[in-house]
Chain A
Amino acid sequence: MHGGNIFVCVFLFFRLFRLFALRANFSSLSLLLLLCFSIITKNTSQNLISSYIMSLWVDKYRPIELNQCEHVNASVANHLKELVKDGDCPHLLFYGPSGSGKKSLVLALLSTIFGPGAHKTKVEQKTWKIDATSTRKIEVDLMTQSSNYHIEINPSDAGYKDRYVVQEVIKEMARSRPIDAQGNAGYKILVLTECDKLSKEAQHGLRRTMEKYSSACRLILIADSVNRVLEAVRSRCLPVRVAAPRAEDIEKVLYDIAAKEKLTLPPQLCSKVAVFAKRDLRRAILALEACRVANYPFKETQSVQTTDWELYIAQIAAEILAEQSPKRLLQVRGRIYELLVNCIPPTLIFQTLCFYLSKRLDDEMKHEVIRWAAQFEHKLQLGSKAIIHIEAFIAQFMATYKRKLISAFA
C-alpha cells in the first residue's frame, strides 16, 4: 500500500514536473504537493486504526510478571512471589470485584512459576464425551485456552452440564502428567474462571475431585463473590482477596500508561477519570482511552464519556420519577428488555437503577429503595426470570414514591 502510493506520487511528480518545466505552471506544483501530503496523512491515520485494532490499552498494559504490579495489588503480588518460590503452590481461590485485577494476577503468577512459556497459549474448542450414567452419554463443547503448563476454562459456559465438565477435565489432566527436566512428575494448573456461577452440584463435584487428584494438578479458582462459592470448596483453597483498587492507586496507573503512550495527562482529568471508574481499574483505563480519542491534547475540564447502557438506565430512572402508572411501567418494561437482550447483567441493572433513582431522593426514601432493591435482587437469584423481579422492584418504587408525593403535597 505504502509502496504503491509512493510510486504513484513519484510518477505524478515526474509528469507534472515536465509540465512545470515547460509551462512554468505554479499552481500545478502546489496541487501536486498537497496531493502527496494527503496520501501520506491518510496512511498514518490508517496505521493508527490498525494499531488500535491490535489491542486496547487495558489489554496492552496488563502486567505480565508479578514484578510489574507496582501500584495495584503490590503486596498481594509479593506474597504470591514468596508462595511459589519453590515452584509449587496450593489450590488458590482469587476473589474480588470485577476490574480489581484477579485474572492479571493469575496470569502473572503462571509466568512466574513456569516462565514465559506459560504465555504461549492455544485456543481451541474441545468436545468431551462423558458417561453421565451407564446408559446416557453427554457431549459438551467448551472453549479452552491452554499452554503446556495450564488449562483455562470457564465451566459455567456449559450451563447445567457444568458438573460433568469439571470432573472430566481434571481426570484428563491427571492422566497426562507432565514430567520436568529432572524426570520428576510435575503438575498442571487448571484455571477455572467465573467459579461463583457454577451450580451447587458442580461445586460438590469439584470438591471431591480436588482431593482425589491433588497430586497431579493444582486448581486456581477465580470468583467475583466468595459468598457463592461453597464453604467446602473454600476451605480446600488458599483464599486470595484481591481488593478493588483505591482511587489514588488508579491515578498512579493512569499516569503510568499516559507516560508510556507519551501523553501529558492533566492531574484534574486524571482524578476525574479515577472517580468515574468507581474503583474498577478496567473501567478507568478504558475511560482514559475514550478521553484520548475524544479530545487530545487533553483539556482539564473535559468530560468523561460514560457507557451507553448507563445513560439508558439514567433515562429510565428519569422516566420512572416523572410518572408512576401502569402505562409507564409497560414502557419501562420494553426498555428493560432491551437492556437484557444486550446481556447487561440483571444485578448490574439493579445497582445502576438504584443509584440513579436515589440521586433525587431524601434519606428516608433512599433507605427504603435500597431495601426493596436488595429484596428483589435476592429473589432474582432464586428465580429464573430477571424481568419479573426488576419490574416488581420498579413497581414497588413507583407505588412508594407516589404515596410519598401525594402525602407531601396533600
Chain B
Amino acid sequence: MPGGRRLDLRKSTLVANLKKEKQQQQRIQPKTMETSKNSKPITQTTSWPEKYHPRSCTEVVVPKKKAEVMIDFLEKQSSKTSKRPAVLFLVGPSGCGKASTFVTLAKEKCFSVLEWKPPAPSIYNENVSTTNENRFDGGDAYTSKIEDFVNFLNRSTKYNAIVSNVIGGGNKRSRGTVILIRDVPTVAQGDERGRSKFVASIEGLVSSSAKNRIPVVFSSSSDVGEGDFVSFGNESKSDGLKFVRRIIHEKLERMGAQNRQNLSEYLVEIKLNPCTKKSLEDAAKRVINLEFSSEMTKNGSFLESLPDEDDDFDGLSSIKSGMLENVENLVLECNGDVRSLMFSLQLLYARIVGDMYAKRKKNEKKNTKKRNREEARIDNADGDKERKKESSISLFHALGKFLYAKRKPSDDALESEVEITLNRARVDAAPKTVIDFLFENTPDFIDNRKIDALSQFLKHVSDADVFSCGSQRWKYGDGDQSQSLMLDRLASSVAARGCVSVQSRPPESSWRPLRAPSASRKAKEVEDSSRRLRELIWAPKLRHNKFRSRQSYYEGSFEAFVATNLPFKKIIEEGYRRNEDRIISDSLFTREDIDEMDNSLEDVEEEDIIEDVD
C-alpha cells in the first residue's frame, strides 16, 4: 500500500512544518511583543484542518446520500438487539473527508469515537530499536506500526468490554462507542510474527464487536475502484485493507454468516469520490468567514499589535476579500482534497498577513503615513497577482504534472499550459534534462497494454532530441543565439507535449517512484569503455617505440574492431585455451595417476636417502 504510506508522510510533515513555524514564532514573540507593537503576530495556533473540523452534518463535504448511509449504519447499531458484529469500510481518495465526516456524524449521534492513527514515523527511534537490543536511556520506546496497532486494539477491546456495559446501562447521553481505524498498517511480507499477531487482534476485534455491539470502522485511501470485495482470490498477503477484509470475511463465515446476503448485513462499504467543486468552495468560504469572525471577536494579539483600529479593520477586510478571490484557484488546484485545500488556505493567509506587516513596517520607516489606503489595497492585490505568476515550481513538480497528466477537472487546460509549466520550472531552455527525465520515467506511467501510446511518445522524444541537437549546432557554429534558444524551447515543449498528449486520462492513483535519468550516466560509461577499447587497438603497437617493421596488427576502423575483431578474438582465444586443456586431459593421465606419481616420487626420494645412508 505505497499510496497510503506516502500520504501519511505528507500529512505528518505538513503538520510538523506548521508546528515548527509556530514554535519559532512563539520563541520570538515574547521579546518582540514588548519592544515593538508592529511585530508579526501569532496568526495560527492549530493547523486549519484540525481547527475548522466540521461540527455538524451541514458542514460536511461528503454528499448527503453517503452521509445518510453512515447515519443509518450508526442508528442500526444502537437499535439492534442481536449480538452481531458490525464493520464499516470507508474507501476513497485521500482528503475526501472520510474520517472527518464519520467522526462528526458519530458525535452528533452521541457516540464516542476511539480513533487509531498511524504514528508519525520517527527514523531515529526505529534505528535505535533495531540496532540496540537493550536501551539504556529513558527515551520513548519505539514500537513498530503493527505493534502499536495491535496494542491499541487490545486496549480498546478490553476497555470497552467493561465501559460499554457500565455506560450502556447507566448513562443515557452516550449511546455507545465506535472504533475508527484510519489507514490500516501494512504487514511486511516476511514478518510472520507480526502478521499472526495482526490477524489475531483483528479477529479479536470482530468478536468483541459482536459481543459488545461496538461497530468498527476502517477508513482507507487505497484500492479505489476495487470491485467486489468478496473476490479476493489472488491478493498479495501484505495488502493492508484487502488483507483485513479477508480476515474479517473468514471470521464472519466462521461465526455463521452463510451467504452473501447475510454478509452484507454485517459489512457495509461506502465508497467516496473526490469532493465536488461546489462543496469545496462552500467549505473554504465557511472557514474564511469563521477565521475572520474569530479574529474580530477574539480581540487577541493580532488586533492589539496593529497601530490604529480603523486601519486595521480595513486591512482585515482586504485580507478577507483577497482570500475569497483566491478560493476558486485553490479549489481547482487541490484536486478534490479538502485537507490540502485547508493547508493551502492557511499558507495563503500566513503569507498575506506576513506581507502586510512587512509593508507596513517599511512604510513607517520611511515615515510615509499619508499613504492612501486605497492605494495600499491595490498594491497588495497587484503583489498577489505577481507572486502567483512568478512563483516557480521545482523540476519534479513539473514532471509530476506531465507524467500524471493532471488536468483541471472541467477542461483540458493542461495542453495549453505545457510551456508555462516548463517556464515556471525553469527548464524550458534545458531540453536535455526534460528529455532525459521523461524518457526515463514515462514507460512506468503508461498502461501496460498501451504500447501505441508509448510509441507515439517515443516518436516525439526522438524528434525532440533532433531539435535539441540542432540547437547545439547553432550554438557552437556561427549561428544566432536566439535561434538556438528557440530550438531548445521547441525541443523541451515537444517532449513534454508528447508525454501529456498520450495520456488521455490520469493513470490509476498509485504512487510510482521517479527515477533519475540514466542517460547521462550511460553516456559516460560508453565514453569510458570506448577509450578502453581504443587503447586495446593501440597497446600492442605502442609496445615498440622505435621504427619497427609493421607487424601484423589490427588495421581498420574502430567500429569494425569492436563489432568484428574483438568478439571473434574472444572466441578464438577461448578456443585455444580449451584446446590447451584438452591436450592436457587427452594425455594418458588421469588425476589419480598424477597423484600416484607424486607419491611414488616421494617414496623414491626416501628410499634413496636410506640407500645412501646404507
Contact = CB atoms under 8 A, between A and B. Distances in A.
B443 interface: yes
B550 interface: yes
A364 interface: no
A165 to B, nearest CB: 16
Contact of B600 (A28, A62, A157, A391): A28
A399 B451 contact: yes
B123 interface: no
Contacts of A224: 557
A343 B559 CA distance: 8
A147 B541 CA distance: 13
Interface string B478-495: 000000000000000000
Contacts of A329: 443, 451, 454
Given A52-B572, A122-B548, A348-B559, A45 B579 contact: yes
A385 B447 CA distance: 25
Contact of A382 (B470, B552, B587): B470
A287 to B, nearest CB: 7
A35 B568 contact: no
A37 B469 contact: no
A401 B570 CA distance: 36
Interface residues of A, number: 94
* Interface residue tally on B, bucketed by range: 35 or more
A245 to B, nearest CB: 14
B541 A396 contact: no
A403 B456 CA distance: 14
A305 interface: yes
Contacts of A263: none
B365 interface: no
Interface string A122-140: 1110000000000000000
Contacts, number: 242
Contact of B547 (A147, A160, A280, A326): A147
Contacts of B388: none
Given A282-B560, A384-B465, A31 B597 contact: yes
B558 to A, nearest CB: 7
A395 B446 CA distance: 13
Interface stretch (A84-92, A247-255, A288-296): A288-296
A389 B604 CA distance: 73
Contacts of B323: none
B545 A122 contact: yes
Q: Please classify the interface of chain A as helix (H, G, I), strand (E, B), loop, or mixed, using the class held by over half of its residues.
A: helix
A343 B448 contact: no
Contacts of B574: 293
Nearest to B478: A201
A49 interface: yes
B191 to A, nearest CB: 28
Interface string B540-581: 011011111111111111111011110111111111111110
Interface stretch (A96-104, A181-189, A208-216, A236-244): A96-104
B469 A384 contact: yes
A308 B538 CA distance: 23
Interface stretch (B35-43, B93-101, B415-423, B519-527): B519-527
Interface stretch (B157-165, B298-306, B528-536): B528-536
Interface string A38-65: 1001101110110010111011101000
A326 B563 contact: no
B462 interface: yes
A45 B583 contact: yes
A7 interface: no
Interface stretch (A70-78, A172-180, A334-342): A334-342
Nearest to B577: A49
A41 B559 contact: no
Contacts of B569: 56, 286
A201 B473 CA distance: 11
Interface in A268-298: 280, 282-283, 286-287, 289-290, 292-294
Q: Could you say which of B519, B560, B573 has the most chain A C-beta atoms within 10 Å of its C-beta?
A: B560
B459 interface: yes
A384 B580 CA distance: 46
Contacts of B553: 55, 59
A81 interface: no
B152 interface: no
Contacts of B458: 388, 391-392, 395-396
7 contacts: A103-B556, A121-B547, A122-B544, A293-B572, A324-B451, A385-B435, A396-B455
Given A41-B584, A99-B560, 6 more contacts: A15-B608, A99-B564, A340-B522, A382-B470, A383-B468, A396-B455
4 tightest CB-CB pairs across the interface, nearest first? A293-B575, A307-B567, A286-B568, A395-B455
